[in-house]
């Protein structure tokens, strides 16, 4: 039973990191941009749900998703589209700028003190299943993760839009010459990444039970590490990297002595570093990123 609980924990934590990694990897795939403002999408979703919590749950979910998507599209249109084609360092600095701007804007609007996350408090309910005491949140998180991963896989593999996304990720210039509307594809990538960020926002906010302007930083960093580990530019690699990082994190929680558990992430990043030394291109090698001769 204990082993089953650890497996369930690993799947839930890994799913959270996988969704973060997919959101980051999707934008990198079509723009070659590490979007550090992706963490603020998580933060925005949490505050939106908290501010709308007096409404019926379906309305809160729908409106908060619309808010996060609108913010993502505004960032793409206002910050990244004018800089498209510029030096990658310029885009990277722009993503940092947007991230810190949104964090400080949230401090101005909501204050620096953490606020309680009051949406759907029933998620904290404990279920008894075969001798296991499992929070309802774990099942909701697992269900949302499966739906998000399956929906993204179907979109990318089975639809015209998915083909355009994959074509743009392979070579933006060739995709544009082939008649693909690159502006629309990139905007769509931001929309999808925003929806993924909202799913993370719901589960992560409910887990920590509070909201803060910098709440998206930690999942962003771990999601970025998972993206690198899985292979930058590969969506399957990003998902695999997220689940692997989650499994390692739970394993370290089990095997480390209690006095060293507060430093679990140091051990986690150390192990990831060792893996990348052995395989620097990540688990999944992306052909589009290999040097062409």
User: At 200, which CATH number?
Assistant: 1.10.3470
pLDDT computed for residue 1 by the predictor: 60
Give the span between the Cα atoms of 190 and 202, in whole angstroms.
18
Give the span between the Cα atoms of 51 and 83, in whole angstroms.
33
Strand-pair partners of 115: 211
Q: How many structural domains does the chain have?
A: 1
Residue span of the structural domain in which 183 resides: 2-289
pLDDT computed for residue 255 by the predictor: 83
pLDDT computed for residue 287 by the predictor: 57
Strand-pair partners of 116: 210
Find tokens 């695999």 and name the residue.
240
Residue among 16, 4, 6 nearest 239 (CA): 16
**What radius of gyration do the chain's Cα atoms show?**
19
Helix (H, G, I), strand (E, B) or coil at 129: strand
Taking only the tens of pLDDT, the chain with its 293 residues reads: 667 777 777 888 888 899 999 999 888 888 888 889 999 999 999 999 999 988 998 999 999 999 999 999 999 999 898 888 788 888 889 999 999 999 999 999 999 899 988 787 777 777 776 666 677 777 888 888 888 888 888 888 888 888 888 787 777 777 777 788 888 888 999 999 999 999 999 989 988 889 999 999 999 999 998 888 888 777 888 888 888 988 888 888 888 888 888 888 888 888 888 888 888 878 877 655 554 33
Q: Cα dihedral angle (137, 261, 282, 217), rounded to 10 degrees?
A: 60
pLDDT computed for residue 34 by the predictor: 85
Q: Cα dihedral angle (30, 33, 36, 37), rounded to 10 degrees?
A: -60
- ∠ CA 43-106-148, nearest 5°, is 15
Residues 13/40, Cβ–Cβ less than 8 Å: no
What are the contacts of 127-134 at 24+ separation with CB within 8 A? 130/1, 131/1, 132/1, 132/4, 132/5, 132/8, 134/5, 134/8
pLDDT computed for residue 288 by the predictor: 52
pLDDT computed for residue 130 by the predictor: 67
């Amino acid at each position: 039973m204990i082993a089953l609980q650890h497996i369930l924990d690993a799947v839930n934590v890994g799913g959270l990191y996988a969704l973060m990694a997919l959101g980051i990897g999707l934008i990198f795939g079509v723009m070659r941009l590490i979007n550090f403002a992706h963490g603020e999408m998580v933060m925005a979703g949490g505050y939106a749900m908290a501010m709308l919590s007096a409404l019926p749950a379906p309305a809160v979910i729908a409106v908060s998703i619309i808010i996060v998507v609108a913010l993502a599209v505004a960032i793409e249109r206002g910050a990244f589209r004018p800089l498209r084609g510029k030096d990658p360092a310029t885009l990277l600095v722009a993503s940092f700028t947007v991230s810190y701007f949104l964090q400080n804007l949230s401090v101005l609007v909501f204050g620096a003190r953490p606020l309680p996350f009051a949406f759907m408090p029933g998620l904290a309910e404990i279920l008894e299943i075969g001798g296991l005491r499992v929070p309802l949140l774990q099942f909701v998180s697992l269900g949302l993760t499966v739906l998000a991963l399956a929906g993204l896989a179907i979109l990318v593999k089975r639809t015209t839009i998915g083909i355009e996304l994959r074509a743009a990720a392979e070579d933006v210039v060739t995709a544009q010459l082939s008649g693909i509307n690159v502006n629309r594809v990139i905007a769509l990538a931001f929309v999808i990444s925003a929806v993924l960020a909202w799913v993370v926002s719901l589960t992560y906010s409910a887990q920590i039970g509070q909201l803060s302007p910098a709440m998206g930083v930690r999942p962003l960093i771990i999601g970025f590490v998972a993206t690198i580990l899985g292979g930058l530019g590969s969506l399957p690699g990003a998902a695999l990297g997220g689940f692997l990082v989650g499994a390692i994190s739970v394993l370290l929680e089990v095997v480390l002595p209690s006095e060293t558990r507060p430093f679990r992430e140091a051990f986690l990043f150390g192990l990831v570093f060792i893996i990348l030394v052995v395989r620097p291109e990540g688990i999944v090698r992306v052909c589009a990123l290999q040097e062409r001769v």
